[in-house]
């Protein structure tokens, strides 16, 4: 009897034990799973946050890069002479990024170290490419890579006039959105033995880079297109003209895809002179004729530029 009861008791105890162990195991399993899920969530939240900070930093590079270029250009406009624009822009950008890295540390608690690798011309004359090596740490997360950013140069001042005719030696000025060459450009052309240099006395040119919307350019001959283009002071893409970075170094031509702008003469003289695309005036120096001999504001152009813009010489 007792043994029977014992047996029964043993069976009950055994079942209870198995049940209890199962329940404990299940609880451990559930708690573990919940913990695991929770930590997965935290990880993905912090990952997104970390990614956001890096993305935000990358996005800001575009404006900071542009500001760095603008600061370099201002040197020319304040009578300085530039020898290595890319090197200077790298330094300016590195200094600006040091400040930005401090701000990110305060704002996000992230450690960022950055080093500008390169400042490059692109296949668009309106953009400059920055490459920056960035190492970032926050808690257990890390980023180590190269951030790339394209900065627009539209709206910045054209560096070429002041790079070619430094303000310390030349009578050159700017007001509103125009550059006034006074005697300086004609003197420059005279020094380069250009015939008809007098035509460039009191020449003017646009100050800030604006991309001409009249594309294809052959439409400049239609209606008021050319006069509006000149009034707005638009710049044009040109394989012969120089890119923004080379303009800072005082180069009117360069191996990169560049731009050109018309230098406008205001002369009653009817003789031929140098063709008025800026890379021709400052470098190639081949001849052109007034489109309209009787118009004091007429452009002086060579045949190939006239053709590019769909313009014809009268007579």
C-alpha angle 153-155-160 in degrees, rounded to nearest 5 = 70
Report how far residue 256's alpha carbon sits from residue 275's, in angstroms, rounded to the nearest whole number. 22
* Cβ distance to Zn ion smaller for residue 110 or 160: 160
* Cβ distance to Zn ion smaller for residue 6 or 84: 84
Whole-angstrom Cα Rg for the chain:
34
Contacts with Zn ion in 34-53 (CB under 5 A)?
none
* Cβ distance to Zn ion smaller for residue 72 or 114: 72
Minimum distance from residue 306 beta carbon to Zn ion (Å): 13
Pairing of strands 258-260, 178-180: unpaired
Contacts with Zn ion in 180-219 (CB under 5 A)?
212, 214
Minimum distance from residue 297 beta carbon to Zn ion (Å): 16
Do the Cβ atoms of 135 and 115 come closer than 8 Å?
no
Do the Cβ atoms of 288 and 302 come closer than 8 Å?
yes
Report how far residue 150's alpha carbon sits from residue 130's, in angstroms, rounded to the nearest whole number. 6
The residue count for the chain = 315
285-297 burial, b at 16+ Cβ within 10 Å, e below that, comes to beebbbbeeeeee
Minimum distance from residue 240 beta carbon to Zn ion (Å): 12
Contacts with Zn ion in 82-101 (CB under 5 A)?
none
Binding mask 121-140 for Zn ion (x = CB under 5 A): x-------------------
With binding defined as CB under 5 A, does residue 254 bind Zn ion? Answer: yes
Residues 6+ apart with CB under 8 A from 260: 235, 236, 238, 240, 241, 277, 278, 279
With binding defined as CB under 5 A, does residue 229 bind Zn ion? Answer: yes
How many beta carbons lie within 10 A of that of residue 39, not counting itself? 10
* Cβ distance to Zn ion smaller for residue 221 or 272: 221
With binding defined as CB under 5 A, does residue 243 bind Zn ion? Answer: yes
* Cβ distance to Zn ion smaller for residue 229 or 252: 229
Among 50, 130, 200, 234, binds Zn ion (CB under 5 A): 234
* Cβ distance to Zn ion smaller for residue 66 or 138: 66
Among 167, 174, 256, 308, binds Zn ion (CB under 5 A): 256
With binding defined as CB under 5 A, does residue 246 bind Zn ion? Answer: yes
Binding residues vs Zn ion (CB under 5 A):
121, 212, 214, 229, 234, 243, 246, 254, 256
């Amino acid at each position: 009897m007792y043994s029977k009861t014992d047996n029964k008791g043993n069976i009950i105890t055994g079942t209870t034990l198995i049940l209890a162990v199962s329940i404990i195991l299940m609880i451990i399993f559930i708690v573990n799973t919940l913990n695991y899920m929770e930590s997965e969530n935290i990880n993905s939240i912090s990952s997104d946050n970390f990614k956001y900070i890096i993305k935000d930093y990358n996005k800001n590079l575009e404006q900071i890069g542009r500001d760095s270029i603008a600061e370099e250009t201002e040197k020319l406009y304040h009578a300085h002479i530039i020898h290595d624009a890319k090197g200077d822009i790298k330094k300016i950008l590195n200094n600006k990024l040091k400040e930005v890295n401090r701000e990110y540390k305060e704002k996000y608690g992230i450690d960022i170290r950055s080093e500008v690798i390169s400042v490059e011309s692109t296949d668009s004359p309106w953009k400059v490419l920055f490459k920056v090596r960035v190492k970032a740490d926050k808690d257990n997360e890390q980023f180590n890579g190269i951030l790339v950013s394209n900065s627009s140069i539209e709206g910045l001042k054209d560096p070429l006039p002041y790079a070619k005719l430094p303000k310390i030696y030349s009578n050159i000025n700017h007001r509103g959105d125009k550059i006034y060459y006074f005697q300086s450009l004609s003197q420059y052309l005279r020094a380069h033995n250009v015939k008809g240099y007098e035509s460039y006395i009191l020449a003017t040119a646009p100050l800030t880079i604006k991309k001409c919307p009249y594309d294809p350019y052959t439409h400049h001959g239609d209606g008021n297109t050319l006069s509006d283009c000149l009034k707005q002071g638009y710049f044009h893409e040109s394989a012969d003209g120089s890119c923004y970075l080379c303009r800072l170094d005082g180069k009117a031509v360069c191996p990169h895809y560049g731009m050109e702008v018309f230098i406008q003469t205001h002369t009653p003289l009817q003789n031929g002179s140098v063709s008025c695309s800026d890379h021709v005036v400052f470098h190639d120096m081949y001849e052109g004729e007034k489109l309209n001999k009787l118009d004091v504001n007429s452009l002086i152009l060579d045949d190939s530029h006239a053709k590019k813009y769909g313009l014809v010489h009268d007579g």
